């Protein structure tokens, strides 16, 4: 069974932003000989996450509001006490971003059927940037026959 790996590169904007990476995943699958198997999608950062959900503009804004309520930036988090930690000079104040990421997930496994992701009608693979702007990568592994 072949296993094929790829890194998807994403440049993100300030704050929380959500990227539909479904087309990039599907394009990669189409470039392979795999018709049936699975796609592993893995977020490689501690302040990013993944989810499968509807890529609808107003819902995505609701998600951002919800995440900000779960982990408000203004709370006095211990992780933000940079003077008490050994950190690089450009280390951001970002405990809230780490906490938001923990409420989501770092990976998704999606079946591939007939050369396509077996997602439901309204489902998309969404990449969440919670501490932008940054240059990010998502690891993609396709396996099957």
**pLDDT tens column, 2-47:** 999 999 999 999 999 999 999 999 999 999 999 999 999 999 999 9
Is 83 part of any domain? no
Counting the structural domains of the chain, the total is: 1
Q: What is the pTM of this model?
A: 0.95
Query: What is the percent of the chain with per-residue pLDDT over 90, rounded to a whole number?
Result: 97
Mean pLDDT score across all residues of the chain: 97
Question: For 52-57, what is the mean pLDDT?
Answer: 98
Structure tokens at 38: 């699975």
CA distance 43 to 49: 6
Is 84 part of any domain? no
Task: Kindly calculate the radius of gyration of the chain based on its CA atoms and give it in whole angstroms.
Answer: 17
pLDDT in tens, 76-131: 999 999 999 999 988 899 999 999 999 999 999 999 999 999 999 999 999 999 99
CATH number of the domain to which 39 belongs: 2.60.120.460
Phi and psi, residue 54, nearest 5°: -75, 130
pLDDT at 33: 95
Q: What value, to the nearest 5°, has the Cα angle with vertex 54 and ends 50 and 55?
A: 80
Is 86 part of any domain? no
Residues of the domain holding 31: 3-72+91-144
Burial class (CB in 10 A: 0-12, 13-18, 19+), 105: middle
């Amino acid at each position: 069974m072949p296993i094929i790996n790829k890194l998807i590169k994403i440049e993100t904007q300030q704050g929380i932003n959500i990227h539909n990476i479904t087309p990039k995943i599907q394009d990669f699958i189409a470039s392979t000989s795999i018709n049936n198997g699975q796609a592993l999608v893995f977020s490689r950062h501690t302040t990013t996450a993944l989810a499968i959900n509807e890529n609808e503009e107003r819902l995505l804004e609701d998600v951002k509001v919800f995440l900000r309520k779960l982990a408000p930036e203004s709370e006095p988090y211990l992780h933000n006490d940079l003077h008490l930690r050994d950190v690089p000079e450009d280390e951001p104040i970002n405990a809230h971003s780490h906490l938001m990421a923990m409420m989501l997930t770092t990976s998704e496994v999606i079946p591939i059927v007939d050369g396509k992701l077996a997602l439901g009608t309204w489902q998309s693979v969404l990449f969440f940037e919670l501490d932008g702007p940054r240059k990010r990568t998502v690891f993609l592994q396709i396996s099957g026959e």
